[in-house]
Amino acid sequence: MVRAGSLLLGCAFLLAMTACGTAGTQARHVVEKSGQKVTVMDNTTDSVYTKLKLDSIDKFEGIRGMDWLGENELAVDKENRKLTPEMIEGQERYPHNLYIRNLASGQDQPLKEGKESLGNAIVSPDNKYIFYKEVYEATGIGYLMNLGTRETVQLGKDEFMASEGEWADSGHVIYPDMKGDIIKADVQGKSEVVLETGAGIIHNVVQSGSIIYYVAHEDSQLFAYDTETKKSKMIKKNVMWVIPSPDGSRLAIVKREGPGEMKLVLCDPAGNEQSVIDSGMQIFGANWSPDGSKLAYNVSSDNGNVNRLFITEVETGEQTPISDEMQASDKLRWSPSGKKLLVSTSVLKDNKYQFVTYVITLS
């Protein structure tokens, strides 16, 4: 565990990272405890500090933090070393199973164990169910578990992309199949085809209110399907990801501007751009805080050598740089209170990749 005290972070620059260069000299600050190091970024000019404070960064090796089960518990996946490994490409591989990590004790409680590899878990908005997949490389089969009873239902027999699928509301999940149909399933496992897009492979299917957003076709067209009128409309092109705000009033959109250039922009629900948050070679992991006031995201520099984690106040445009060594492998996840941020990344160690999870506590 690494603690940075109540370290003030950030550079209050509006929409452009170059403002730190004009406001003051940006520096990296390495905090260390028990042999663990985490690099955070600060600024030497007091007048440009944001109000956001970093209380601590906790680092957990060997687990993939997926979502919050509460303010002090995580749903994680990790290798189940109690089972016999398989030899794949000359390496021993253990199945990944699901666990509950208690942040106070550091202990893991089994959530779902077995010889199958399980992962990509997302907790329902009411914290009563968990949506996860039995994973086969890039694809998987979906399951829903009642967290109270641990009863599990399978969502059909067909595989879909393991990275896809979100909660539409507390009682339903939504995901695309491999034919381009959008499927909705309830917590009893009953599923239905909501929309046959006819577009083949589609991705980034999310629902906000009565609108289902999805990305399709080679030019990455963003569509909005109205479940009430049963009509679809293409609202934007070159979209990599769309992340609706909690109240549905805004969209955070990552779009491709050109070769090696991405932009994170704020749009209204119709796709009309309101402001530019950031740009870089890659932008990933973007997610809203529960109250919709902040966006957390990773951005890669133009040469791809630096991956920085930022939190932006969407109303003022103030950006708080957190670290330049946390490249999120999954969507960044905020705790229910919005005071903590979950970051999962993978690092090369002993000639194989292993997951590292960070919990960032803010005030």
β partners of residue 30: 39
DSSP classification of residue 325:
B
Report d(CA 252, CA 310) in Å as an integer: 14
Give the model's confidence band at 19: pLDDT under 50 very low, under 70 low, under 90 confident, else very high.
very low
Report d(CA 347, CA 355) in Å as an integer: 6
The answer to whether the beta carbons of residues 212 and 225 sit under 8 Å apart is yes
Say what the pLDDT of residue 135 is.
96
User: Distance between terminal CA atoms of the chain?
Assistant: 18
Give the model's confidence band at 177: pLDDT under 50 very low, under 70 low, under 90 confident, else very high.
very high
Please determine, for residue 337, whether its predicted confidence score (pLDDT) is greater than 90. Answer: yes
Q: Which residue has the higher pLDDT, 345 or 39?
A: 345
pTM to 2 decimal places: 0.85
Say what the pLDDT of residue 133 is.
98
For 271-328, write each residue's pLDDT tens digit.
999 999 999 999 999 999 999 999 999 998 766 567 899 999 999 989 998 988 788 8
**Residue 42 corresponds to which amino acid?**
D
The answer to whether the beta carbons of residues 316 and 326 sit under 8 Å apart is no
Closest CA to 55 of 356, 333, 308, 360: 360
Structure tokens at 215: 């990305």
Say what the pLDDT of residue 302 is.
67
Domains of the chain: which residue ranges? 238-327
CA atoms 344, 288, 219, 213: torsion sign? positive
For 120-176, write each residue's pLDDT tens digit.
999 999 999 999 999 998 999 999 999 999 999 999 999 999 999 999 999 999 999
Q: Which residue has the higher pLDDT, 244 or 42?
A: 244
Q: Which long-range contacts (CB under 8 A, 24 or more apart) does 245-249 make?
A: 245/208, 245/288, 245/292, 246/288, 246/290, 246/291, 246/292, 247/292, 248/208, 248/209, 248/211, 249/292
For 39-89, write each residue's pLDDT tens digit.
454 433 332 335 688 899 999 999 999 999 999 999 999 999 999 888 877
Q: Which residue has the higher pLDDT, 360 or 31?
A: 360
Please determine, for residue 24, whether its predicted confidence score (pLDDT) is greater than 90. Answer: no
Report d(CA 198, CA 313) in Å as an integer: 38
DSSP classification of residue 228:
T
Give the model's confidence band at 91: pLDDT under 50 very low, under 70 low, under 90 confident, else very high.
confident
Closest CA to 131 of 110, 147, 148: 147
Structure tokens at 25: 């000299």
Helix, strand, coil in percent for the chain, rounding step 5: 0, 60, 35
β partners of residue 28: 41
Closest CA to 240 of 186, 168, 196, 300: 300
Among 225-239, 303-317, 324-338, name the most confident range: 225-239
Say what the pLDDT of residue 50 is.
54
β partners of residue 353: 348
For 254-266, write each residue's pLDDT tens digit.
999 988 899 999 9
Say what the pLDDT of residue 52 is.
81
Report d(CA 264, CA 354) in Å as an integer: 28
Helices and strands (DSSP H and E) totals, the chain = 1, 34
